[in-house]
Structure 1
């Protein structure tokens, strides 16, 4: 979902088809007061029909606006004459107005007076435009936030100048540089979402310890900045005859009201590392530098980012926010605030909690979610399918409605309130201002919007289920806690479905007494204690509970130290259910999940888990993940690709074990995945090298032209037969004919060197081991001259090698070769060379002998020993025999039937050989059937982490058909053991 698909945030307009008597009376009284205080200005306003209509809406709705205009009769005329009531400000205009207002201020008192007078003017303008329907919600909240930021920054600049003259210039003890205060805006100020009568939450910080220089008596930096902070608060918050600018709340600083007013960057970081609580992570989501040293402030925000956004999926946020909401609910009940549209059920805070919970959970992996504006977060959550499109729309609409309601409550008298009125006249006025027919209609609308929010909140934050089976979860909790006698424990496990309860009991005891459990934090133990009864209930309902429990417990031991993954399984019964199902189906999948627990997030939606992504989805997902990390952070880019690859492979494997997709489609998905990754890795490696050395080029007919590079896939990749954990057989080609031509960058290298480094970089990026694992192992031994040859070959050299030096087995390999990434022109030339080589006339008997001899050497090296087993790949009658017969058929007959080189996969090549008359149709069908059956079994055995060897009593008919074809086609009789 894009930004344009969310509902508009247009403000409500007062109803025009009716008007309560209270509204008429309030308007009459307001206009009478304005007529008396500023008749000339009012006359100029009424000369403008649009401003007159605005006044009709604003006058009865805002006592604050009327009071301000009558107290300062010149203000109305100035606003009318300037045109500011009818226009939106340009960017930076608030800062310019603050600077102008403070230009003549000589001390703190004059500064405070100037700010308060400017505040009266700008608040009248902002509230006027809001109530008149001239500014949508986002424009109003951004105006309020920009004005507050300008007041903070402008006041601080003057106070800083004056204080330096008095106390000296603060210097860093380590850097020796001038130190300046950094003001962090928290909450709605940080998010650019201030309301019309909001306080501002601030935190003060300074870069490093030290003391002042240039004064008669030095003071340490903490004392200096404490004094500066106090002066700033006084300038903004003190109530004088002119009112105040903003209420300032400093309680979000470390240790709250008991803590120091200011802290150094290191002290802040230490505090959050050692003492930071979950609600402080929530608060820091919206933190933004709003005053002082912006450069240092940006460094501070980066320093604090790991505390806010964890590198892994942090499902503990649900638990923490549920606890925070419980505290709020108790306070609401204690103070009787059920009707509070901010804190009550279904209020503004619940919408914020929903958005920010997912930010805490996913923001460590998804940098796009590290934004402060709530509506923008809802858009992203819908675009990423974290929230449904419907839920995001409904939450956004409710949020906009409640914020407009908040502004009309607060704009009435410039009073910070979220309580709905009880007075009949005030209710009628509020309903009219919100465009509703009467109070009953507005109350019904409020109830509907809050009910909708409450429903979504409960769906997101519902307490986790405590049952997964018919067995008593209390009994299973006692089983885990070892609170029963052994006989009682065995009886409870048997009732839960365990056929061998004694073994299960011993395994649970080993986990509980082992290092994995004893090494957990208190919170981690609580989460594991909560999870284990649920896990036992889920496992007990499976067909093989003992085997499944063993796999599941091994996984739990692996992930326990990151207890947020335990929280994920506790919070999401569906994820736990899918985990148990996959553990039962495949130890390979269980091990993958244990090694890469970030994949657990993909268990949340079975609809996508068992539907492998197609090529378009893969490309979109890969690009989305790469966009979420910085362009210059190669390590993060590779981690993003590894997470992407593991997620996609898990979905393929899940669909495979569920038999939701056929074998051929499994290999297609795995091959598409490899191609997408190779394309992105090539792009990253190319960007890295060209940034350093420039682009490679060559000369043709005296002109300089770009050179291209392509990756050729051989073997299983080239033949569309990739399996789980398959290596990639790759060959690298380029089309530069003048390999000594330098690149065009500041540090040029010869083109041949550039392409060699490019290939090395690709191999490294694919095979490097990180915390997120590896992408693929790469085998480049099929390149010309093998391990003794150059890593990268130009097209002409490749063609000459294939024509004059390649062995028959290398032409066999060429049968299954195809371009998989890189320059289309290079790929096209390779395809032409491949076709030319494979369609050359060959002596069938010579080809037969050479292919047969090569297969014999392979069989002697790799075949199993003993007649009671059958190696699906290497034994006589296995997959390799089929592959070699296909390759022989192509090499022997492609010169007469060039269509034989159109494909690289064995199944379609068998079809082409039958169409060409090189194989009987029945024979081709039987070979294709045997090949599919072998591959399917190999896939299953891989997922079971078992050798690809089966009893010799299996596949008897298939082996017989393959051996018969080999005898007829290759002229050799093979023994089966």
Structure 2
């Protein structure tokens, strides 16, 4: 019975000792079973030192209640008199509800915590094997495993071992468990054991001796017939041995993985084996070696960094490691190493639900995977020539990298500290319920227990969040710095005795990051960062991040070279480096643009001040045609001569082309390129549908069209001023045709034009005609003046009578021609006619003249439809370049631009008279209108639209990458990879891009065959 007044005193003491529910704790202490320890101060002190005093007390009461009467007193007496046991037992009970459940089920297992001799502080595999030796089946093995786990957890929570030692002990316990499980499997099938030598190779965290409390144990199995490889040449003997080994391996996996009355131990995962789950579970050593020599991907060699023989025939296991080690350390020399490395880097945050990414300790930004991946990549790069880096343990490898000068010592120390803290968090989170998780809990009580378990006692939740974010932030920062900062140190003038990357090591790292000419890259870095100037200091700050962005591109060398050229051109301009330093988006945008191909960098290097566009939040937005025309006409008006006027107009065009190209590239490359859907274990199509490519195509087409229209207006003004001042004797209009009239120009498209004029009142027609011809000739001359800018070529071949007809006609002459001589193809060409420059009223009258031709009343007759089909078929056979692959030609190939456009245009000519929505010069608008009018099904419209957008982007991508137009994919591998990246595919997925292009255009051609050549429209 509680003495009056005692309750409030105990209640207060419980609160002071960290209990959150002192009333419940007081009731537990008042239980008859707890009488011997009820008022013991040492017990309350020890409970108060645990991560969760309430949980520890509940676990203790359950354990006491589970004891036999004659054993209960012994437990309680020992608890009061033996401080080491008290700290261990209560520490475990306060940190792990799952181990408290185990002790309640197996009340004698607390005695495993009694020993405290020096030899017990760091048991190894042999000791764990001894403690598991009596296990004869999965159930008893599970119980013995938990008993060992109890001892590890006790040493962990009491601080007897640190987080690295805890991880190593857990790996050693896993090793002993695998050996015990294999022994059980062998005893169950001695005939199988007699037929084969079976080695178990630990991979992942178990192989690296850095295992979690709850984790899959990754393994690979290798076997040979008893007596050696091949069994003296007997192939049947090898087959029998592999079958026997497979049965043993499968039984081992079941023993560890299957759920029993005591639960399961942990899943044994063999999916890191050759061919993954599709490959045989067990292979011979020669079969493993053949696979890794011929088929293995880079990530598989990265996984082998941690391979370690742990069970079975250890001699065979060592042979496996020795045979594969040379391949592991040659992985950085593989042809596809760069693409694989970039792919692996993007896998860090793959498949994390958005709601969990900020709580992910392992895969989230600044998480454990960032540290592990960075260390492993540096090992692969530099371990080729430095055997000291050949460790499967992350922290050991990090120390070796620092000792070798590959990572700064201060950075390594900070990364070591962050990794230890994050791993300690992970351990304590998993220890609570012994569940596999890497998510930081959200509940206040869980966070409080977690913080206290890590020694944060004043404000556990606040301190935990602060420390976690601090370490994660350090990892994020160092993840970039580890790769790139040492490269700058390597080219700096280091004081005698200072360590850093050797020139050879620096070149190895640059090569691994994708630089084809690492020697030149080092020279660029030296030129940018040498000296004590303020500019060099800012460059040393910027370059570690810029180098990473360059490395993420298809052509890092071009990016770095372009950056050097731009920096040298603007080096004395005060705003340039300040812009890059203070506006993060500007630096990243510049890196993306410089490394994406030739067109945008070439434009920028001719006018480096356009860098300012990249730092303005609105700088990438296209300018309106009205705005551009006003600027061009004003520049032309200030020029003294026609040539100077043309140069001024070209200057505006150059800047605006850069703006459009930069916006296109940044939108295309700036999206998340992480894999959208896995196609195999290591490869995935990256981000193909994550932006609206159709909207991007429309934006580019509209921007380039408006820019060229403004440029033509400037050329027209300059041509008129040359001879006539401000007033031409005849009214004059420029009509855009083809893609120009359709507002669908690409970066390298010609401008298809018609010229129309009408004499002013009182002006002789011959005088007017001579003036109009002179204006056209002068416009063409000015636009064709030699320049390094992308040319604006005029093509007037769509005029009446083609090349044989006059370049410019009066409106009345056009009317007479179209009335008497016009052919169906000319009516089709006029579907895209649109006024672009000159006299707007005259241009409008021209459109009124041609509307009846392009949208004929009641549609086309059968003869006209047949003629259009005949012309299309002839074009397919005659105009496709010799040797071109018709499945990959974006303009004339199967399902390409021409296929889609002719199909849409046939619909326009047939139904435009009745459907106003079809009266547009734009292909996609007309296609959408045809769908809205029920002239084409939803699926078919979507297929044609997708193909047209993709083909247009291919042409744009080729121009951006190569700096010259093209209708087919580049043959150069680096250029092809750059086009692939522009189209939204991750590194190493050129094949996927080509396969997708063929698939999409094949579907489009099927629709064209049905709608254009098949059904009567």
Pair in the same fold by TM > 0.5:
no
Q: TM-score, normalised by structure 2?
A: 0.41
Q: TM-score, normalised by structure 1?
A: 0.43
